[in-house]
Structure 1
Amino acid sequence: QVRMGNDERMATPIAYMDWPFDGLSVGYAYRWGVESMGTGRIRFCYGRGFETGLEIEGQNDTMADMDFGGFSWDLMKKGNRFMNIQSFMAFDVFNYPSFSSDFVNFGAAFPPDQGGFGERMVVGNISHSSVVYQDKVADFNFFAVGGWSVTDPNKNGMFNDYAGMGAAQQMAGMGMSQDMINGALTQMGMEGTPHTDSENGYSVYLGARYDFDSIGLKLGAEWNYGSEYWIAMNPGNDDLFLGKLGARGNVFEVYGIYDLPTGEAISKYAKTFIRLGWQHYEYDYSGSMDWNAKPYDLDDSAELSQINMVDGMSGRSTVESADQVYLTFEAYF
């Protein structure tokens, strides 16, 4: 919320979780016995994502719905000082959603070696935990966030090596035995079957903002890093390019916010401002925010040729770095 330009924290900053599930939340609020710790609250949250709308027996009940459940704990809140711990699990995670267009669904159902995503299926579970610390000293705002994701795939696999699986199919079509196929894939550092191992991912997110209240100006800078198997559950991000918190690599951002003295005319909660910023993405691994495909090392020439093979089959193009400058006019009340 520091990046949003708020003068005060408006709600729990959930950082890596931004998935619009229908559900419920129930919690307990408390006050610490130590004055310096202030207050806190802990909540249990549950939600369900309907994969094909409300299920009708015999029509669209072919796939399990994705469930989400976990805890969000505002450990302490005292003035501007705040700390939150969040841990949840996503159950029955799908490989890709049901798209609104029948034409897109038709194309997506093609196997990966023909440019599609394959049959829609449940691929396993994902657990996710994060810690957020936020504070303000005079006119200096800052925060630090750490994230940890863990995959628990079923037989369909997560982080599958589609280049290796495609190569295995081609070699099988040539009449090669399974032992020969396995030996060839091992030499090439590829995997020809679904990846069913559990993988850990990590992320760090740091940011700061200085407020020049006398002239209505705010200047901020942020940096975040994601590891090889990092997964951010934030498809609802508002980044113009890809969601930066899902990046497997480094993202740098600097921005300035100029508050326009107009919001208060509507509501004491209203704000109107102009934001100018720059983001630089430097990816170490492919597939940011995706749990289906293997994160190919973009600095490794052999793996780079493999991801180029996957891109050729799917019609996509892997980005190694990107820059964007944005200018926005924003208002809320």
Structure 2
Amino acid sequence: MKKLEKLLVGAAVCALAVPALAQADEQDMQRKIEELTKKVQKLEEQKGGADQKKIEDLTRKVDKIEEKSLGKWLTIGGDYRFRLDSLNGSTKAYTDAFGSLNNAQNALQGTIFGGGSVAGQPVSQLMPLVQTMQHTTSYAAAAGMVRGLMSPLPPGTPANIVLQQQLAGMLMTPAAAGGYAIQVPAYKPNNDTLYTNRFGLNIHAKATKDVTVNVRLLAYKTFGSNDDQAVTNGGATPFFADRVGVFDGTLGRVPSSDFLNVDRAYATWSNIAEQPIWFSIGRRPSTEGAPSNLRLNNERPGNGGTPALLVDYAFDGMTLGWAPDIEALPGAYAKICYGRGFEAGFETPANNLKDTDMLGLAIVPVDTDPLRVWLQYNRGFNIFDFPTMNDTYFGNTAPAVNLGAIDWYGLGAMSTIKKVGPGNINFFGDVGMSVTHPNNSVSGNAGFEGLMTGAFFNPEAPTSKTGWATYVGARYDYEPTKTKFGVEYNHGSKNWITFAPAADDMWTAKVGTRGDVYETYLIQELNSKPVSSFISKAFFRIGFQYYDFEYTGSNNWVGAPVKISSIQPGDMMLMAPVKSARDIYATLEVKF
């Protein structure tokens, strides 16, 4: 008996040392626990009930050792992905608004250093125009300024005002005709081979009986580069607002660097007051929601995800959820979600920005293997004009004005029908609606564009815009060879806007497209037995995406949409207007 006690104490010391010693073999410790348990059982059989108290004490010691095992409270997993993309697109001829401003600035700086003048007036007279533009953040002031610059001037107008109007005219005049406007001819952007590496590390810890912590770290970089230039059209006008640069909600979601960023980190308190209520707070699991898990070959998101059609963004926030046991509604739950998209800091005389927040209500009346149904409502408050980004085509950007609010509504379902031939079929349908509520503000940095209103140097009175989108798809899982084949289609209307810049698409988040996107893919899993966990797997995925854009401004809430077919070479735009794009991609992915 004493010998057995010593063995158990020794095992306990080993178990407690595991967290501190990375070399400790968890599986070996589990084996020892099993051996000791068998010895206790054998001793109990031999004694026939004698020394029962000592046997019970030893059994409790074995239980305590097992409870201290890492596997009882800590789970570590993750994934690795190599991806190859072949990208090709087609643009319309347009005038680069930001490039034109830079051209004017460079020309004027040359005049300054040369000690000359423009139209007979000192260049210093032009500074009020630049300063006024940057600080003009109301529609009324912007409209008045543009009228003043474009309208005929009466005799006796001050020379500096005449000069500012002449400068505005030169800004609209092509450089070839002696002005500053940079016209960009139609071209076909192309990148035959874009290689990327992505590594994710997942940590799940059971802190107490009802409290857990989940963490996901992500590093996502381009081969041969440690920045985002490969997907932002580095050095030239960006194509889409969600691929101008990397910002807080897209860290680790857009190829940028080898830094291991925090994609998710949140604590969850379940079973509150012995009721099916949970509270969760931290960096939310608000990316890769249903139904995108099908094409990404992920597990279902569970009750922590958000519909991918409406939100794909790494929010910092919190959730309060309730999952009642209703026989007629298996798996039903509801939750209220809150997230912060931008922290404005202290209110000061020089800073009147407000925090950008998101409030959501999710109702899932059914969540089972064969059927999942969801209803979603979100509202974005105090939407900013530009996120905080560094080293973009537009320089270092940051929110300068709050443009208003946006409401989103969503309804979707996904289902699985088993034993359809030699496999299973998964399919889904999702619809969404967006409604903007612009205030009287416009962005001076965007040429007086507002929340889905106006064009560069052409402000529009604040008007609510309603858009809609639909997203459907299916995947057939051929069980004998672990082959999965899927097709997807989504359409967005003229005024559709979503909040999905972190979506796993290279060109732009496809669910935010104002037009049509067609996608087909094939997943081939390796026929290998899982080792690290029951969901471990390795697979290849090849796919094809085709974007057919009908309006400009996909995934951009700044400025009004323009029909692609109506764009003229003299139209000033902040983004290069893409009329079509395709992406042929292939991946090797390992989940452990």
The TM-score bracket by the shorter chain reads 0.7 to 0.9
Given the alignment, which residue of 320, 324, 328 partners 2:587? 328
CA change 1:281–1:27 in 2 (3 A) is: same
Task: Give 1:195 deviation, angstroms.
Answer: 3.7
Instruction: Tell me the residue number matched to 1:48.
Output: 340
Instruction: Tell me the residue number matched to 1:185.
Output: none
Task: Give 1:98 deviation, angstroms.
Answer: 1.9
Give 1:257's aligned amino acid: I
How many pairs are equivalent?
A: 284
CA change 1:262–1:65 in 2 (3 A) is: farther
Between the aligned partners of 1:269 and 1:238, the Cα distance in structure 2 is 21
In the alignment, structure 1 residue 4 sits paired with structure 2 residue 296: yes
Instruction: Tell me the residue number matched to 1:145.
Output: 430
* RMSD (Å), alpha carbons: 2.3
In the alignment, structure 1 residue 310 sits paired with structure 2 residue 590: no
Task: Give 1:253 deviation, angstroms.
Answer: 0.3
Instruction: Tell me the residue number matched to 1:279.
Output: 545
TM-score, normalising length from structure 1?
A: 0.79
Between the aligned partners of 1:263 and 1:151, the Cα distance in structure 2 is 50
Between the aligned partners of 1:271 and 1:60, the Cα distance in structure 2 is 54
Instruction: Tell me the residue number matched to 1:174.
Output: none
Between the aligned partners of 1:219 and 1:205, the Cα distance in structure 2 is 17
Between the aligned partners of 2:434 and 2:517, the Cα distance in structure 1 is 19
Give 1:131's aligned amino acid: L
The correspondence of residues 88-167 of structure 1 with structure 2, limited to 5 A, is 88-101=378-391, 104-105=394-395, 120-138=400-418, 139-156=424-441, 157-163=450-456, 166=457
Task: Give 1:50 deviation, angstroms.
Answer: 2.9
Between the aligned partners of 2:381 and 2:314, the Cα distance in structure 1 is 15
Contact in 1 for aligned 2:315/2:340 (Cα 8 Å): yes
Task: Give 1:10 deviation, angstroms.
Answer: 3.6
Structure 1 residue runs of 4 or more that deviate by more than 6 Å after TM superposition: none
Q: Secondary structure at the match of 2:463?
A: coil
Between the aligned partners of 2:472 and 2:553, the Cα distance in structure 1 is 22
Task: Give 1:160 deviation, angstroms.
Answer: 2.6
Given the alignment, which residue of 307, 310, 318 partners 1:14? 307
Task: Give 1:102 deviation, angstroms.
Answer: 9.4
Q: Secondary structure at the match of 2:589?
A: strand
Given the alignment, which residue of 483, 493, 496 partners 1:230? 496
Give 2:510's aligned amino acid: K
Task: Give 1:60 deviation, angstroms.
Answer: 8.3
Task: Give 1:224 deviation, angstroms.
Answer: 0.1
Contact in 1 for aligned 2:317/2:338 (Cα 8 Å): yes
Contact in 1 for aligned 2:436/2:452 (Cα 8 Å): no
CA change 1:193–1:230 in 2 (3 A) is: same
Q: Secondary structure at the match of 1:42?
A: strand
The correspondence of residues 56-75 of structure 1 with structure 2, limited to 5 A, is 56=346, 58=348, 61-75=351-365
Q: Secondary structure at the match of 1:305?
A: coil
Task: Give 1:58 deviation, angstroms.
Answer: 4.5
The correspondence of residues 232-271 of structure 1 with structure 2, limited to 5 A, is 232-262=498-528, 264-271=530-537
The structure carrying a bigger helix percent of its residues is 2
In the alignment, structure 1 residue 24 sits paired with structure 2 residue 318: yes
Between the aligned partners of 1:147 and 1:235, the Cα distance in structure 2 is 16
Give 1:93's aligned amino acid: I
Q: Secondary structure at the match of 1:3?
A: helix
Ranked by relative contact order (alpha carbons within 8 Å, sequence separation 6 or more), the top structure is 2
CA change 1:10–1:49 in 2 (3 A) is: closer
Task: Give 1:201 deviation, angstroms.
Answer: 0.6
Give 1:209's aligned amino acid: R
Contact in 1 for aligned 2:378/2:407 (Cα 8 Å): yes
Q: Deviation digits for residues 182-219 of structure 1, max 9, x if unmatched? A: xxxxxxxxxx4334111101000000000111111100
Q: Deviation digits for residues 60-84 of structure 1, max 9, x if unmatched? A: 8542110111201111123320101
Task: Give 1:105 deviation, angstroms.
Answer: 4.5
Give 1:120's aligned amino acid: A
Give 1:159's aligned amino acid: M
Instruction: Tell me the residue number matched to 2:368.
Output: 78
Contact in 2 for aligned 1:155/1:194 (Cα 8 Å): no
Give 2:572's aligned amino acid: V
Contact in 2 for aligned 1:153/1:196 (Cα 8 Å): yes
Structure number with larger C-alpha Rg: 2
Contact in 1 for aligned 2:453/2:463 (Cα 8 Å): no
Between the aligned partners of 2:350 and 2:483, the Cα distance in structure 1 is 53
Q: Secondary structure at the match of 1:20?
A: coil
Give 2:389's aligned amino acid: F
Between the aligned partners of 1:62 and 1:224, the Cα distance in structure 2 is 39
CA change 1:56–1:101 in 2 (3 A) is: farther
Q: Secondary structure at the match of 1:142?
A: strand
Instruction: Tell me the residue number matched to 1:216.
Output: 482
CA change 1:210–1:47 in 2 (3 A) is: same
Gaps of at least 5 residues in structure 2 are: 1-292, 419-423, 442-449
Instruction: Tell me the residue number matched to 1:184.
Output: none
Give identity over the alignment, percent. Answer: 31
Contact in 1 for aligned 2:476/2:486 (Cα 8 Å): yes
Q: Secondary structure at the match of 2:403?
A: strand
Task: Give 1:19 deviation, angstroms.
Answer: 1.9
TM-score, normalising length from structure 2?
A: 0.46
